[in-house]
Amino acid sequence: MDTRFLGISDLSEAPSVAVVVDVMRAFTVAAWAFAQGAEKIVLAESPNEALALKAGHPDWVALKDGPPAPGFDLVNSPGLLRSVDLGGRTVVQKTTAGTVGALAVKEASLVLCAGFVVAEATARLLRTQNSDSVTFVVTGEDGQADEDLACAQYIALRATEAGTDAAEFLRRAAQSRAAAELAEGGRQGVHPDDVALCLEVDRFPFAMVAALEGSLMVLRPWGGSG
Ligand SMILES: O=C(O)[C@H](CS(=O)(=O)O)OP(=O)(O)O
Ligand SMILES: [Mg+2]
């Protein structure tokens, strides 16, 4: 399997298979939303689009990163989300990096969104595809975020070598700039357990597949019990 690791701005053409990685925190949050019962996640282009979608579907749940904001129901925090019942709900998510990365590859034939919490399920799906070439989109810090690069490299190895040890990859993620910033405290929209929750390898049995449904990019769980 030929693998490429690219930042969002490095994407020049639609890859065939893309794995969009955002460990802290968008796709850890997405996985928790499915674990809490969400049916699907619509990835919004902008905060205004998220609010417009919610206005058209008042039962949808709008989620944005940063501090709590008017019109939004939730923030981008796994620690805060894990106590919310989302049974059967549609979540609309807009974040700085993760959702932008997924939307940047919306023309790809297969788009997976991933973090450590769905690593093995993601690797398993890649194995079933038997793809010649997989593009990993390292969403944070324009491709330099080490928590995302480490996770992408781990999933790429796991897709070919089932016994790959996660320890070194987790160590890098734990020492990343994003982990340090989240651990600093004092920020709204952050729970003290967020970093630890983002570093739980294989916490969930499902992968997450994003695809265009009409004009919307929609993320759904794949496999497992999700
Ligand atoms: O909410 C997040 O973790 C980040 C935004 S910030 O860097 O923490 O402010 O967005 P994401 O798209 O999940 O990386
Ligand atoms: Mg991130």
Q: Could you read off the pLDDT of 70-92 as tens digits, one per residue?
A: 999 999 999 999 999 999 999 99
Cβ of 26 closer than 6 Å to ligand 1, yes or no, is yes
- Reference 43, options 77, 69, 16, 76; nearest CA is 76
Q: For this complex, say whether ipTM is above 0.90.
A: yes
Question: What are 217's strand-pairing partners?
Answer: 43, 212
Instruction: Indicate if the pLDDT at residue 130 is higher than 90.
Output: no
- Reference 218, options 25, 34, 30, 43; nearest CA is 43
| Residue range 137-191, pLDDT digits in tens | 999 999 999 999 999 999 999 999 878 899 999 999 999 999 999 999 889 999 9
Closest Cα to atom 9, ligand 1: which residue?
A: 66
Cβ of 140 closer than 6 Å to ligand 1, yes or no, is yes
The residue whose CB lies within 8 Å of the most ligand 1 atoms, and thus the one to mutate among 65, 139, 182, 195, is 65
| Spacing, Cα 142 to ligand 2 middle (Å) | 10
- Write the DSSP string, 45-97: SSHHHHHHHHHH-TTSEEEESSS--TT--EES-HHHHTT---TTPEEEEE-SS
* Domain limits, the chain: 2-222
| Spacing, Cα 65 to ligand 1 middle (Å) | 6
pTM: 0.97
Token pair for 164: 């790959």
Q: Ligand 2 being an ion, which residues bring their Cβ within 5 A of it?
A: 22, 24, 97, 140
pLDDT-derived band at 226 (thresholds 50, 70, 90) equals very low
Instruction: Indicate if the pLDDT at residue 58 is higher than 80.
Output: yes
Ligand of minimum distance to the alpha carbon of 66: 1
Closest Cα to atom 1, ligand 1: which residue?
A: 65
- Dihedral of CA atoms 87, 89, 90, 91 in degrees, nearest 10, equals -70
In CATH, which superfamily holds the domain spanning 2-222? ComB-like (3.90.1560.10)
Cβ of 65 closer than 6 Å to ligand 1, yes or no, is yes
| Spacing, Cα 25 to ligand 1 middle (Å) | 6
Name residue, tokens 């939307």: 103
| Spacing, Cα 96 to ligand 2 middle (Å) | 7
- Reference 18, options 146, 142, 106, 96; nearest CA is 106
